[in-house]
Amino acid sequence: MAEINHKVGISASPAAVYAYLTTDEGLAHWWTWDVSGAGAVGSVIAFRFQGKGPDFKVVELQPSNLVRWQHTGNVPSEWVGTEISFVLDETESQTFVRFKHSGWQEASDFLAHCSTKWAVFLLSLKGSLETGRGHPFPDDLHIDHS
Amino acid sequence: MAEINHKVGISASPAAVYAYLTTDEGLAHWWTWDVSGAGAVGSVIAFRFQGKGPDFKVVELQPSNLVRWQHTGNVPSEWVGTEISFVLDETESQTFVRFKHSGWQEASDFLAHCSTKWAVFLLSLKGSLETGRGHPFPDDLHIDHS
């Protein structure tokens, strides 16, 4: 099994970060404008990029502390069986977000691509909370010319 | 063992990317301005950040194709025993850079931090080659407020 790990520190309260991870409006600030379905444990969030994209089932929520999603459906195929978690840790000066995308079959080229792209989106999360300017799809930073 | 993987696509020739990975002048464009010692296999590159930083021994070079470094010394401690590789792959429209930092003892918080920071520096490599404007230390993008 292979996984992606990231960590960013955000000048915002854990409650504010948590809201950006658990509501359609919040998620639209940093990952993709086309998102629907975010809610309580058991809800399925549909993230869309030009009409296509993954669904994630919310499997665990601890307010201001933990968000855990399980991939559901078949798109993208390498994400089948994977899970994403965000762990929030408050310090005096910032809230750290510890991101993990685990359960990959192997450290493929697509994992490497997604690892870089997740960094871009987590920095978009940081920017959206600190300055009001995130870069969700379709305004996301391009990491290649494909 | 844990590892970090990234992939970016750069509008530059493999030879141009390779030069930015194998010379002091090239490395200074994107990781840190304070770098010395880059050269043939066996050379030790000193990367410095406010006077401190890691050394890497060049262990394999395949021109325009592969660069492999082994960490040497004791700083930072979690990097002891780790290795970094850059594999270049030319396509019609871009050169893909496949980055790997492997041999970590565990997927620690510091690995997560470094994973995000490597993405930032690989995008700095991309920017430095495509626009002439990289963001090496001390002009690097901050991912937290520590």
Q: Which residues of A touch B94 (CB under 8 A)?
A: 144-146
Question: Is B7 within 8 Å of A143 when comparing Cβ atoms?
Answer: yes
**Secondary structure of B8-62 in the HEC alphabet?**
EEECCCHHHHHHHHHCHHHHHCCCECEEECCCCCCCEEEEEECCECCEEEEEEEE
Q: How far is CA A139 from the centre of its chain?
A: 16
Average pLDDT for B91-107: 97
Which of B3, B11, B109 shows the shortest C-beta gap to A107? Answer: B3
Residue of A nearest to B4 (CA): A4
Residue-averaged pLDDT of chain B: 98
Residue A87, Cβ density class (10 Å: 0-12 exposed, 13-18 middle, ≥19 buried): middle
Pull the structure tokens for residue A100: 């993990």
Cβ-contact B2, B107 below 8 angstroms? yes
Whole-number percent of chain B with pLDDT over 70: 100
Average pLDDT of the residues of chain A: 98
Residue A38 contacts residue A119 (beta carbons within 8 Å): no
Nearest residue in chain B measured CA to CA from A95: B144
Tell me if residue B118 falls in helix, strand or coil: helix
The whole-model pTM stands at 0.98
B84 neighbourhood in chain A, CB within 8 Å? none
Quick: pLDDT tens for B12-49.
999 999 999 999 999 999 999 999 999 999 999 999 99
Q: Kind of pairing, strands A34-36 and A44-48?
A: antiparallel
CB contact under 8 A, A143 and B8: yes
Out of A9, A99, A144, closest to residue B144 by CB: A9
Q: Which residues in A65-145 belong to E strands, given as ranges?
A: 66-72, 83-90, 95-104
Per-residue pLDDT, averaged over A7-35, amounts to 98
CB contacts, 8 Å: B146 with chain A: 9, 93-94
Exposure on the CB side of residue B56, measured as CA atoms within 13 A:
23
Q: Look at residue B124 in the predicted model and tell me its pLDDT.
A: 98
Those residues of chain A whose CB sits closer than 8 Å to some CB in chain B are 2-11, 93-94, 96, 98-100, 107, 109, 111-113, 115-116, 119-120, 122-123, 126, 141, 143-146
Question: Smallest Cβ distance to A5: which of B10, B96, B112?
Answer: B112
d(C-alpha A82, C-alpha B109), whole Å: 20
**Edge-to-edge strands of the sheet including B44-48?**
B2-10, B95-104, B83-90, B66-72, B55-62, B44-48, B34-36
The residue type of B121 is: F
* Percent of chain B surpassing pLDDT 90: 99
Please classify residue B29 by burial: count the beta carbons closer than 10 Å to its beta carbon, then call 0-12 exposed, 13-18 middle and 19+ buried.
buried
Query: Distance of alpha carbon A68 from its chain centroid, rounded?
Result: 10
pLDDT by residue (tens digit) across A51-81?
999 999 999 999 999 999 999 999 999 999 9
Determine contact, residues B60/B72, Cβ cutoff 8 Å. no
Per-residue pLDDT of B44-78, as tens digits, reads 999 999 999 999 999 999 999 999 999 999 999 99
Domains of chain A: 2-131 (3.30.530.20)
| pLDDT score of B40 | 98
